[in-house]
Amino acid sequence: MNTASRVEGQARNLWLLRAACFFQIFSLGMQWSFSSVWMKDQGIGEALIGLISSTSIALWFFSGLLWGRLADRTGRPVWIVLAGSVLIGLSLFYLAYCQTAGQFFVYAVLIGICLPMVSTLMPLLAVSALGAASRGKGYASYRIFGSFGYVLGNLVMPRLLSDIHALFIIAGCSFFVALLPLFFVRVERAQKRDQGSLRRALANRELLGFLVAVFFFALAVPAIFTFTWVYARDLGGDATFIGLLAAVQGGVALVALPLTGRGVDRFGARWLLLLAFVAQPLRSLSLSLVGSYEWLLLPQVFHFFTWAGFEVAGVLFVARLAAEGNKGTAQALYMSAQVLGNLLGAAVAGYLAEYYGYGAMYQISAGFAAVGLLIFAWQQRGNLGGSPKASAP
């Protein structure tokens, strides 16, 4: 394939992936925002919500590694994403009818196995559809379509459908719509049969140190996201406000993604990641000071770095560190570090919220995130000095 045809094919793939990302995050945004609220409405306590979340996250950890290795070995990540999209859509239909703890545990098993089929490999597909130059800007332009979907799903849909059951039905349908553009994606991998290994990926000391820092960063994520929705409900917020809260996050992401994408291209991923690691404990601490549900909106400004900056810089940082043929495995390890942090963080946050209150939960979560900051800053101490551009990736 000549250069012009390759560039044209990459541009076409990127637009198809943008469309798929829109419908996927439109769906998952409602699932992320309302699944814990749905459990709470069925009489499930915070500690049990944390345990259910931990179950799905534990399976996500192992499944993500499996799907990443399978993508490297077969060279067919698109087919894995297609299969995962069907299974996620069916799982969301099932979630709409869950009422008991046992049923929610079944849902946790289903989503824990199939969600990594999409979440681990869609970033890999997007990176493979980008040219060598301006990858930060290119990846942000892909991911911003997901943020549009997130805002639409959380701001508009709860106003049209106040019934959470109906929201999950719409979410399931959206994942089937996301199949349509994916059928036309054609991504050529440099190596169809990978000779890399998990051991080879972990032999990269910089990648390994980054994964440890990401684990501590992710320990605070369940408190900041999952239990903040429950906290909003406890403080008196209704489904419309919870949707607004999520939509504000999406709005911050819409502004942040193009800026952070350009920031990665100009200054390198390390500097954006450092800002994300600084912002995570500050975000958790600020949530501990909230006394009414309206004030939960203010800490969402930290989403600029803790999600948008981290999302763009993290994926590209790992892609640049990984050897050719191990990129799927490296992205799976990156996702697994986040998942493992979420796994433990969900159980700890649920226990702390139920028995010690939300203030203690947020403060301890901020401490976990601060450890991640210290690890990342120490590991990168020799790379962050001097010219930011010279320290790329």
H helix and E strand count, the chain: 19, 0
Backbone angles phi, psi at 371, to 5 degrees: -65, -45
In terms of residues, how long is the chain?
393
- The per-residue pLDDT for range 235-265, each reduced to its tens digit, is 888 878 888 888 888 888 888 888 888 888 8
User: What pLDDT sits at residue 325?
Assistant: 65
Domain contains 174:
yes
Distances from the Cα of 21 to the Cα of 150, 168, 326, angstroms: 10, 18, 24
Structure tokens at 373: 């900051």
Cα–Cα distance for residue pair 61/66, rounded to 1 Å: 9
Q: Look up the domain containing 63 and give its range.
A: 7-184+197-391
The answer to whether the CB of 292 falls within 8 A of the CB of 123 is no
Distance from C-alpha of 349 to C-alpha of 388, rounded to nearest angstrom: 36
Q: Is residue 192, in this structure, part of any structural domain at all?
A: no
Query: Of 82, 278, 108, whose CA–CA distance to 187 is shortest?
Result: 82
Tokens 């545990």, located at residue: 105
Residue 252 lies in a domain: yes
- Name the residue among 190, 197, 187, 198 with its Cα closest to residue 80: 187
Regions of the chain where pLDDT drops below 70: 1-7, 131-135, 187-204, 323-326, 384-393
Q: What type of residue is 73?
A: R
Q: Per the confidence metrics, is the pTM higher than 0.75? A: no
Q: How many CB atoms lie within 10 A of CB 206?
A: 13
pLDDT at 167: 92
Q: Is 1 within a domain?
A: no
Q: For residue 190, tell me if it sits in a domain.
A: no
User: How confident is the model over 56-77, as pLDDT tens digits?
Assistant: 878 887 887 788 778 877 778 8
Domain presence at residue 295: yes
Is 283 part of any domain? yes
In terms of Cα–Cα distance, which of 10, 48, 44, 57 is closest to 343? 57
- Whether 189 is in a domain gets the answer no
**CATH code, domain with 45:** 1.20.1250.20
The greatest distance separating any two alpha carbons of the chain, rounded to the nearest whole angstrom, comes to 63
Q: 249, 300 in Cβ contact below 8 A?
A: yes
Residue 87 burial (10 A CB sphere; 0-12, 13-18, 19+) = middle
pLDDT digits (tens, 9 = 90+) for 136-161: 777 888 888 988 888 888 888 888 88
Structurally, the chain folds into a number of domains equal to 1
Burial class (CB in 10 A: 0-12, 13-18, 19+), 40: middle
Contact by Cβ (8 Å): 209, 335: no
